[in-house]
Amino acid sequence: MSTKQFHLDSVTVSANARLHLGFFDLNGALGRKFGSLGVALSEPVTRLTACKAHTLQVIGAESQRAEKVLRQLIHARQLPASYGASIVIHQAISAHAGLGSGTQLALAVGMAFSALYDLNLTPVEIASITSRGARSGIGIGTFLQGGVIVDGGRGSQTQIPPVIARADFPENWRIILIYDASHQGLCGEHEHHAFLQLQPAQAQVSEQLCRQVLMQALPALAEEDLPSFGRAICALQTATGDYFAPAQGGRFASLKVAQVLQFLENQGVHCVGQSSWGPTGFAIVANEAQAHEVKEKLIAHFCAEKALSFQCVRGENRGAILDVSN
């Protein structure tokens, strides 16, 4: 990701959204807590271009968040005021939708700024400086490598939850994203408060979910066995959703998305769920033809729900792209 070239005219970074499929140890009795599974998506994408400047200027969606990242980096590295940047955000992943927008924006801005001034910052260092990856390392892992990521949660000395496994997402499988424009997932102080209020999960549940990830989900990916993968994801979603239900109002944050997921299950689509705090839902199907067929059924059935929209995407098996111009 980093570049040794100091005299750069501009740096463009493209970073992909991710699904957070759930936590598998919300008990923490062994000394580590959380641990999660996620996958990089081909879309939506955050894409920005940075150039050197005498001041800080950011144009486009999420400009305030991007400028905050720049100021955090400058402060952390004790850089002089001459280290300015002009950034244009061409595309941005929607905020508070459960797709990891904050982490991808922070890493994209950080890596672009680092490349401009040859700071040699790593994504993990940028995440630490900008307070990303507090409980999950999925977004950092997908930024670096793409694919399906498993992180090892937090221990007493953990800075950023480490990536402990990675697998390719099968090329033929497709993901249908379910958006609810009328709802936002928990974030910031509300998210922090929710974690403080919730008691540790039962140890037996965490033990079962660890087995689901290690002995079901990951082997199913290797063998491209969607039914087995779907059963593991649904077990993870059920346990995670029920654990967070007091904070988000139910197993799923959005009633509209919950209705879509129930409809999909009734149609025989069994790998479904919510990403992170939502409200975005997802369904994973065997191929592109099935994805478009299911999407058309959803559009027809939920045509009265104007807040709902649907998008067919792929899993993305490469990390973020950094292009330099000099």
The CA distance from 308 to 191, in Å, is 24
Half-sphere exposure (CA, 13 Å, Cβ side) for 272? Answer: 20
DSSP string, 75-107: HHHT--TT-EEEEEEEE-PPTTSSS-HHHHHHH
Residue 1 confidence (pLDDT): 42
Q: What is the pTM of this model?
A: 0.92
DSSP string, 234-259: HHHHHHHHHHHHHHHTSSSS-HHHHH
The reply to whether omega before 44 is within 30° of 0 (cis) is: yes
Tell me the residue length of the chain: 326
Alpha-carbon distance values, 225 to 61, 97, 232, 307, 312 (Å): 39, 28, 11, 33, 20
Residue in 230, 210, 208 with CA at minimum distance from that of residue 220: 230
Least confident residue range of 37-41, 264-268, 321-325: 321-325
- In order of start, what are the domains of the chain with their CATH numbers? 10-168+317-325 (3.30.230.10), 174-313 (3.30.70.890)
User: What would the pLDDT profile of 167-176 be if each residue is shown by its tens digit?
Assistant: 999 999 999 9
Mean pLDDT of 71-81: 96
- Average confidence score pLDDT of the chain: 94
Mean pLDDT of 145-167: 96
- At residue 159, φ and ψ (nearest 5 deg) are -90, -55
Under the banding of pLDDT at 50, 70 and 90, the label for residue 186 is: low
